[in-house]
Structure 1
Amino acid sequence: MSTNDDYYIEILSNISVYLYRYGNLAIYILGNIGNLLSILIFSRKPWKKNVCVFYFIIFLILSCIYLNSIILGTALINGFDINAQNSNALLCKLLHYVGIFSSTLLPTVIILASIDRLLISSQNVETRLYSSKRLAYFSISSSTLFWLFFHIHLLIKVNIQQIGSSDWICDYDLSGSYIDFVNYSLMTFNCLFCLLMIILSILTFKNVRYIRCTRRHQRKQIRSITKKDFQLIRCLFVLVIVYISVSVAPALNSVYTTATKNQLRTPLQDETVYFVANLFDFIYFTFYCSNFFIFLIVSKAFRHELKRIVFKLFGNDLVVLTEKENNQNNNENLNVTVVNTIEIPY
């Protein structure tokens, strides 16, 4: 190995360490603060009754779980060389189990929220009735139980493995078939998640577009959808776009690493593959601290609620529109005449 190779290996290794030491900690801090603020805002009375907000709260809780398990764990392991999981089998198993469980349940919740927005924007009255808290509770409970049982093999196969005469590491079972199963199954799920999100977003977009066109030209409603509902749909669209953008590259890189693991590489090539994997993982981790900023940028109602909290925190009063005034302003902005009849075109 040449001196130049040693130089580049050291540079790539140092970048990876600093990425986990400072980048992951920034994501961890911003993500937890942003998620907790978002949960506080969505838990307030004007938001609690909305079914989509319920899904968002579950989504934010899962984001906090992932931040405090995988993202914090990788920051300590790769950034500060603190390997507590290598000395405790239970901690080792829980770290992998909780991390993968939350990373698969979270996109499932996004899909369930997308289904709810598709139902609420439907032209059919009976279809819209399926958007309910009861269905949301059932869907979340069923999904949680499914992923809890599906990933239970991690509690058996993940353990502290011996990789040398005196080296121990928390990792999957060292048999190649099991590692292939984990990597390919996660990639398959990720592809299915992304595909379903795209399909549901397109269908919801068509429904919303039809409602806007109907309101603009016919001045009659298929359903009274508030401006806040439209803002939640836009927030969901942005969440889907960001999730797909940051999750595709790590999944493909994982497949590539698994498929080429038996190929002979130089130390520089090994370090390059490791660095690329770390970079893609870091990009994926940014999704878990972006939720608050997405809600803040996309939703005017969210910003207004945040202002209320800040003003109350400093002892000032913020003038808040009543619900009736909000509805009137929403209708004026959308050029809608509210009527009690329902007209469904055939």
Structure 2
Amino acid sequence: MAETLEILHLPSPESAMALVGVGEDNLIYLARHTGTKLILRGQELHILGEAKAVERTLNVLNSLASYWQNAKAIARPDILTAFQALDTGRGEEYQALQQTILAKTRRGEVVRAKTFRQRQYIKAIQTHDITFCIGPAGTGKTFLAAVLAVQALLNNDCERLILTRPAVEAGEKLGFLPGDLQQKVDPFLRPLYDALYEFIDAEKIPDLMERGKIEVAPLAYMRGRTLSNAFVIVDEAQNTTPAQLKMVLTRLGFGSKMVVTGDITQTDLPSHQASGLQVAQQILKAVEGVSFCYLGQADVVRHPLVQRIVEAYERAEQPSPAGSA
């Protein structure tokens, strides 16, 4: 069968770099999923293959034009979502996803949902009092929740922001860590601080914490409280016991939202201990006002290597076919 050649002209060297990705990872991914050959020559991208495959590749690349034309880096989730949009007739929805800006970091970087499931997650938080998000590392579970939480605080939609997580990490115990209690728990809460620093000047955070506007604390501190007019993020919930997660969920007060995130494949609890997050899935799925969102390896928005690592672990953790050794 005769091969077809199409050439995509890119407006600048920067746009070419944005399109091809680190180590031409994007071109490799496109070639693998379309059966075409993609060769970058200066500012020309040569696409060679069967006519239908070349057309499919061009359609995907054109749907990503708002990124590469403006020299904005393209990640694998962008390409995968473009394929999904093309295959399911959701082109207009994908264009809307690209154009909907959720927030901007202090460095001016635009934050938006990169996948349809991330967009569903954001909508769930906006429309439900309690949202669970379950997925692997790098899918934006905590980061997107923190974006919405900071916006709610800065827009006076809530009176305070509460970030909490269980102090359980890979078998370590607080008693073995140096320093006073705050110094002991800080390592466990560092990922939550990191999310805050993207949107609030580091110098302002201590003042907001002193005024009670932001609280970052281990889960045990939530016992006996009523969390009213607050945006609460419970991170690493796979490391809660059923009793701990029930405790924090029942702290929710009027005018509050709660987002519970975790990765059920990365539980650091003892092997005999059930995860509160897994138990909550079974008990709360049908409860009105509670939403469950699931992100997967296709939603990983970190370094391309992170996605490949997640994929490798998912393959390894799949049960062996019946009868295999």
Q: Same fold (TM over 0.5)?
A: no
Judging by fraction of residues, say which structure has more helix. Answer: 1
TM-score by length of 1: 0.22
Q: RCO greater where, 1 or 2, for CA within 8 Å and sep 6 or more?
A: 1
Structure with greater strand percent: 2
What TM-score comes out, normalization by structure 2 length? 0.23
